[in-house]
Structure 1
Amino acid sequence: MSQADDITEARLSRPSLMLKPLENKKSNAQYLFADRSCHFLLDTIGKRGYRKVLCVGTPRLHELIKLRNQEGKGDPMKSLLLDVDFREQCGDAHGLELPILL
């Protein structure tokens, strides 16, 4: 079974988990944090009282913020993703905001 055949609603809500990092690290500079790191960052941001988050090259953190808002966990946060990866545009199909491409 190919990865395309194994697309579920849960996977579509986290498109960055399905995408491989872009090869050129200098010009693409993405931070594809592990879930544990994303949860730590999000918990820390929330504990400090921030409700607006600018995610620069951090699509997984942006996705997690959106998912937590949809699930009603914690105080709602606004998140804006700035990224150069055009592949992230597919995230809007499931209520995730489109990134601003640089």
Structure 2
Amino acid sequence: MANLASIFWSQRLLKEAEDLEVRVMETRKRVLGDKHPDTLGAMHNLAFMLKSQSRDQDALILLRTCVRMRTQVLGGQHPDTESSLETLTEWEMENVELGH
């Protein structure tokens, strides 16, 4: 499902891609748990999907949650945590520059 969401995203079928990303995240939460690294990866991907649809505030909220949970689960020095934190910092700076 996650791979199909990526294909939809690359074809700019954003609503279809978002629907699949939500299903991937919800399925991983149910099967693996809220704090599983794969669930957090799906959360990270969904945040990007929201951002690509100009849903900046929703993307920021989700990515903040992802960073917080990745820090708790993986630690602050883990590459996935660092990647999410770097993206969050970039998005927050964009928001400040746009006056949001």
Same fold (TM over 0.5): no
The structure with the largest helix share of the pair is 2
The structure with the largest strand share of the pair is 1
- Please give the range of the TM-score, normalised by the shorter of the 2 chains: 0.3 to 0.5
- TM-score calculated relative to the size of structure 1: 0.35
Where relative contact order (Cα < 8 A, 6+ residues apart) is larger, the structure is 1
- TM-score calculated relative to the size of structure 2: 0.36
